[in-house]
C-alpha cells in the first residue's frame, strides 16, 4: 500500500497540471460569439461576421451568394493570415476539403452522358481489381450509384486518412492509392443499398473509375471538364502562383480536442508554422487522396459552379451537365442517412453527391460540408428558390449550418436590387 499511495499522488499531480495547462490554453484561445438565432438584415449579418472574425475563430471567412442566375454577394471578413498581415479578400483561396465530392459526382454524371459508364454498373466493370468482402454470398454487387450516395457499405477511412498527408506541391496517383489502401477497408459494414453512411472511400474509388474510363488522371479530368469550362481560374489541386498570392493559412485553436493528438497523427513540426493569437497557424498541407477532398479555391469560383448547377448545368455558354443529369443529382437515389454526419438532420438523406435536407413542403436543401486540418467550408443550394450559398473559413471549427441558415433567411432578391 505504501507504494501505491505515492503513485496515485503522482498521477493526481500530473492530471492537475494537465487540467491547469488546458485551462490556461482555453483562457487565451479565441471564443467566438454565438451565432444569432435570427438577423433583421444584411447589415446585422455583417456586423455579426465582423465580431466573429475579430474573435479569431475563424480569423478569416469568405462568403458568396448566388440568386436567380447572378452572384449577388461576394465578400470577405477578417484575416487570411494574421501573422503575415494578409487580410481575407474576395480572391482568398481556401481548401474545400469534402466539398470536392460534388465535382467528383458531376464528373461521373458527365461520363454517363458520354456513354462511357452507367450509374448501375458494378464497380468491377471498370476496376477489375476491385475486391471487397460482402456480408453474404448473394449480396448485391457495389455499383457506382452506391458509391455516389454512400450506400456501398464500405467503411470510412477516417481517422487513417488524417495521416495521408504531404507538404509538397505534388499530386499522387489516385488509382494506386486506392489499390494500396482498399485491402485495409475491404470488409463491408452493411448490405449495399440498404442504408447510407458517409465515407470518403466511396469517392476515392469513384476517382479511380474516372481515371479508368477517361484515360486521364482524376485531377486532369476535373480541371479540363469542369474548372476550365466554367472559368474557375483560381481553383485547382495544388497552389498555382496566382492562388499562392491569395492563400489563406489554416488554423487550429491551442485549446482544442485535436491539439493533444497532433504529435500522434501528424508531424507537428512540419504542420505548425507558428503560434499567434491563441492559434496554431499551419503550413501548406495536402491530403494525398484528391477525389474526396482535394480541391482548393476561392468562394467566387464556387459561385460559378453553383450558378451552372442552378442553371441546369450551363453557364455563359459552357455546358458541363445536361438538365437531366442535374435533375438526377438533385432528385434521384436518395437513401436515408445514418451516422454522425446526419445526426443533426431529421429525415436527412444522401443523394448523388449531396446531402438532401427537407426544408418545407416541396423545398429541399442540397448541401455538402467540408472539414479538415485548418479549414471549414459549406456549400448549400436551394434549387426551387434559385439560391446558392458558399462559406469558406480558415478555422478547424465553424458553425456552418447556423451561418448558412441566417444567410438563407435574408431577402436576396431585395438585397440584389438595392446594391
Q: What is the pTM of this model?
A: 0.92
Place of cell 438538365: 323
Using CA atoms, how far apart are residues 301 and 390, in angstroms rounded to an integer? 10
Using CA atoms, how far apart are residues 80 and 185, in angstroms rounded to an integer? 37
Provide the 8-state DSSP code for 377: E
pLDDT, one tens digit per residue, over 342-394 is: 888 888 999 999 999 988 777 789 999 999 989 999 999 999 999 999 999 99
pLDDT, one tens digit per residue, over 280-301 is: 999 999 999 999 999 999 999 9
237's grid cell: 489541386
pLDDT at 11: 42
User: With a cut of 50, which residues of the chain have pLDDT below it?
Assistant: 3-4, 7-8, 10-25
Domains of the chain: 25-99+231-418 (3.40.710.10), 104-225 (3.40.710.10)
CA-CA distances (angstroms) from residue 127 to 124, 176, 178, 256? 5, 12, 11, 41
How far apart are the two ends of the chain, measured CA to CA in Å? Answer: 77
Provide the 8-state DSSP code for 329: H
Residue 243 contacts residue 210 (beta carbons within 8 Å): no
Residue 97 contacts residue 309 (beta carbons within 8 Å): no
Amino acid at each position: 500500500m505504501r507504494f501505491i499511495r505515492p503513485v496515485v499522488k503522482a498521477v493526481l499531480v500530473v492530471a492537475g497540471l494537465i487540467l491547469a495547462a488546458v485551462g490556461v490554453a482555453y483562457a487565451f484561445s479565441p471564443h467566438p460569439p454565438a451565432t444569432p438565432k435570427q438577423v433583421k438584415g444584411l447589415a446585422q449579418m455583417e456586423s455579426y461576421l465582423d465580431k466573429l472574425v475579430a474573435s479569431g475563430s475563424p480569423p478569416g471567412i469568405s462568403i458568396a451568394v448566388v440568386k436567380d442566375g447572378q452572384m449577388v454577394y461576394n465578400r470577405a471578413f477578417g484575416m487570411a493570415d494574421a501573422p503575415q498581415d494578409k487580410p481575407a479578400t474576395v480572391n482568398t483561396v481556401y481548401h474545400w476539403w469534402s466539398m470536392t465530392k460534388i465535382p467528383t459526382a458531376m464528373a461521373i454524371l458527365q461520363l454517363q452522358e458520354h456513354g462511357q459508364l452507367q450509374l448501375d454498373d458494378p464497380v468491377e466493370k471498370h476496376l477489375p481489381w476491385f475486391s471487397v468482402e460482402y456480408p453474404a454470398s448473394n449480396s448485391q454487387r457495389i455499383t457506382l450509384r452506391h458509391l455516389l450516395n454512400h450506400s456501398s457499405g464500405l467503411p470510412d477511412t477516417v481517422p487513417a486518412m488524417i495521416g495521408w498527408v504531404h507538404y509538397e506541391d505534388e499530386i499522387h496517383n489516385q488509382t494506386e492509392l486506392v489499390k494500396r489502401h482498399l485491402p485495409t477497408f475491404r470488409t463491408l459494414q452493411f448490405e449495399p443499398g440498404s442504408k447510407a453512411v458517409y465515407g470518403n472511400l466511396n469517392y476515392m474509388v469513384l476517382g479511380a473509375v474516372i481515371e479508368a474510363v477517361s484515360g486521364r488522371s482524376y485531377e486532369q479530368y476535373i480541371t479540363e471538364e469542369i474548372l476550365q469550362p466554367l472559368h474557375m481560374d483560381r481553383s485547382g489541386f495544388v497552389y498555382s502562383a496566382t492562388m499562392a498570392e491569395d492563400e489563406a493559412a489554416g488554423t487550429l485553436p491551442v485549446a482544442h480536442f485535436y491539439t493533444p493528438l497532433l504529435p500522434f497523427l501528424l508531424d507537428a513540426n512540419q504542420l505548425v508554422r507558428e503560434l499567434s493569437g491563441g492559434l496554431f497557424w499551419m503550413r501548406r498541407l495536402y491530403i494525398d487522396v484528391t477525389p474526396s477532398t482535394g480541391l482548393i479555391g476561392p468562394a467566387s469560383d464556387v459561385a460559378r459552379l453553383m450558378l451552372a448547377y442552378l442553371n441546369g448545368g450551363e453557364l455563359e455558354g459552357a455546358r458541363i451537365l445536361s438538365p437531366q443529369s442535374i435533375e438526377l443529382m438533385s432528385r434521384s437515389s436518395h437513401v436515408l442517412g445514418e451516422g454522425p454526419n446526419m445526426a443533426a438532420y431529421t429525415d436527412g438523406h444522401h443523394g448523388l453527391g449531396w446531402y438532401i435536407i427537407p426544408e418545407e413542403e416541396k423545398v429541399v436543401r442540397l448541401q455538402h460540408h467540408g472539414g479538415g486540418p485548418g479549414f471549414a467550408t459549406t456549400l448549400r443550394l436551394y434549387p426551387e428558390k434559385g439560391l446558392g450559398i458558399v462559406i469558406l473559413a480558415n478555422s478547424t471549427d465553424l458553425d456552418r449550418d447556423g451561418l448558412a441558415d441566417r444567410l438563407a433567411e435574408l431577402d436576396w432578391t431585395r438585397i440584389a436590387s438595392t446594391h
